[in-house]
Chain A
Amino acid sequence: MKKPIVPITSLSNTDSVDDATLVLRMKEGDVWAMEAFYHRFVHKITGISARLLRNSSDIEDVVQDTFTEAYRDMPQIKSPQLVERWLVRIAVHRAHRRFRRRKLKRTLGLDRSIDDERLFIQVGVHASHEARAEIALLDSVFDTMNISERTCFVLRYIEGYRLEEVAQITGYSLATVKRRIVNAKGAVDRHFEEESHG
């Protein structure tokens, strides 16, 4: 059945509309709201995907799939005010699938591509030399981490989510999240310590 045409009211500043209102307008088929929603969250979603995957092709695919799925499932969303966490959850789920697929292909020798968007490339222009050096070290630790630990670590320490939020986003239990974060953090600390001692 064809949807009724919804009159579109333009807004000068997208930040003046809260997440819940944006979701409501998207549910009504407001194309402007869809674009505003994208611009509001694209940097965060791209950033998380980039930390997890470090491959530009995979990153962009995940971002596109995430928003496509979000627009498709928007009518089913129950808590519009939590739309950001819902979106991050979709992105993480997509990134996991993408990561496992690439890992399998590399194991089978079907994929010889390199991760072209490693963490040290993702730093901003304002970053200090010390920060750049530490991120380069983090990059090498990430090579040894599995995707679950990496996800928990990125969400907790780089994105700044609380443990409960990490559990909700990843779908793991709180205990599992804590254990994985401890493991990941331990690996990072050990690596940094080894590097600092020579």
Chain B
Amino acid sequence: MVDMDRIRNAFADKQSPLRVHRMWQSIEAACIDTSPAPSRWCVTVLATGAVVAAALMLALIWPKADVGPLMLQAGAPIKNTIVTAQPMRTRFSDGSFLDTAKGTSLKLVENTSHSVAFSMLQGEAYFNIQPGGPRVWRVNCMGIFVTVVGTAFVCRGQSEQVTLEVKRGAVLVDGKGVEKGPRKLVAGNAITVGPKHVFTKKDKDNNNDNDVNNVDNMNNANENGDNAGRSNLTASRAPHASAAQPVWKIQAEAGNYIEAFDRLGADKVASLTAQSNDVDELFQLSDVARRNGHPRDAIGPLETIIRRFPQNARAALASYTLGRLYLEHLKAPVKATEAFKKALSLGLPAALTETAEAKQIRAMLQYNTTEGKKLASEYLMRYPDGRYRQKVEAWLQATVSQ
């Protein structure tokens, strides 16, 4: 028989101190310095939460589909001309609405997924623009150029004066009649300019044949340097004066860009650009080329404005437009960055500053990640609730994951 007591007593009672110490170090590292392992339930809840959060983030940063042009609330397209025989309210698809008094006449001059521009010819209109909408609204109130995002204001043409009253939010106003240049008006502020050109019955009758004579657009801020009195709002746009305009310009003002470009051609755009000393005309040349699908031909007039008229209040807008062309149409991020930078340095209207900065970041990230990230960080700090915050974060994320 085996003596089991002898065997049991033969084994060492103690392990070597070195081994004991070594094992303790491993156990200590695994247990004591860390939090207790989460339960399976806890892990499941956390994992579910993470998945939901990721899905939410994805939904938020996913590029929004092109919302298309602004429509009427019922889904019908907006007519190019709105003339009201009696007071009426027009509701739009983005929640904005427009109240017009009897005898008011408006022209829709631009309508894209990013911007809407009206030119008000006469009467009285109350614009209630939905805050947070996707479009920048620009309204030419008989010579007062209003740029807004979400606000409410009244534009009223009385006698020989135009009055603009801001009911909610803030607007940026500009125009020849606006003394001391472009300015910001907030809720409760009003501005009156005049005397203005009065649309007499005779004028209107004359204009019935060719309505485009009354059409204006935002690029028609009169900066032609003709020393006409700043208070003389619409002298240069008097209907009878338009008779001397070339056909391409009339077509362009009417929004017929295809016909306007057909009349001009790329060569003529370039030659007119070289000759012109008129900022309005240069903008029109650029618009005609740009809106007709010729972004390269649109660059010349804009660069001319920036080069020849850097002191002009609209040089910044020209540079901004140039940046968009390079970024969105010509895929030239380096030039786009320079253009947006220039636009900002020239004093872009406040309503466009944030957009320009965001687009500058977008362009910069395409070729210089380091600088792009720096710009993005600055943007995120400057605009904690910025309109482009989510997009900027998404661009940064995409840059990191590349």
Listed in ascending order, the chain A residues whose CB lies under 8 Å from chain B are: 31, 34-35, 38-39, 42-43, 46-47, 51, 60, 63-64, 67-68, 71-72, 119, 122-128, 130-132, 134-135, 138, 157-158, 160, 188-189, 192
Contacts and interface: CB of A to CB of B under 8 A. Distances in A.
B37 interface: yes
B11 A38 contact: no
A157 B8 contact: yes
A4 B22 CA distance: 30
Contacts of A192: 1-2
B7 A158 contact: yes
Nearest to B33: A31
A37 B13 CA distance: 17
A39 B20 contact: yes
B32 A157 contact: no
13 contacts: A34-B31, A35-B28, A42-B24, A43-B14, A46-B15, A46-B20, A47-B13, A47-B15, A67-B23, A71-B31, A127-B10, A158-B7, A188-B2
Interface string B10-48: 111111000110111011101110001100000000000
A196 B36 CA distance: 55
Nearest to B25: A64
Contact of A72 (B6, B9, B37): B37
Contacts of A39: 20, 24
A135 B2 CA distance: 10
Given A34-B31, A42-B24, A192-B2, 13 more contacts: A38-B27, A39-B24, A46-B15, A46-B23, A47-B15, A64-B26, A71-B32, A124-B10, A131-B6, A131-B10, A157-B8, A158-B11, A189-B2
Highest count of chain A CB atoms <10 Å: which of B4, B7, B20, B28 = B7
Contacts of B19: 46, 60
A67 B1 CA distance: 37
Interface size class of B (residues with CB under 8 A): 20 to 34
A72 B13 contact: no
Contacts of B6: 128, 130-131, 134
A41 B6 CA distance: 23
Contacts of B22: 60
A31 B8 CA distance: 34
A64 B23 contact: yes
B11 A64 contact: no
Contacts of B7: 131, 134-135, 138, 157-158
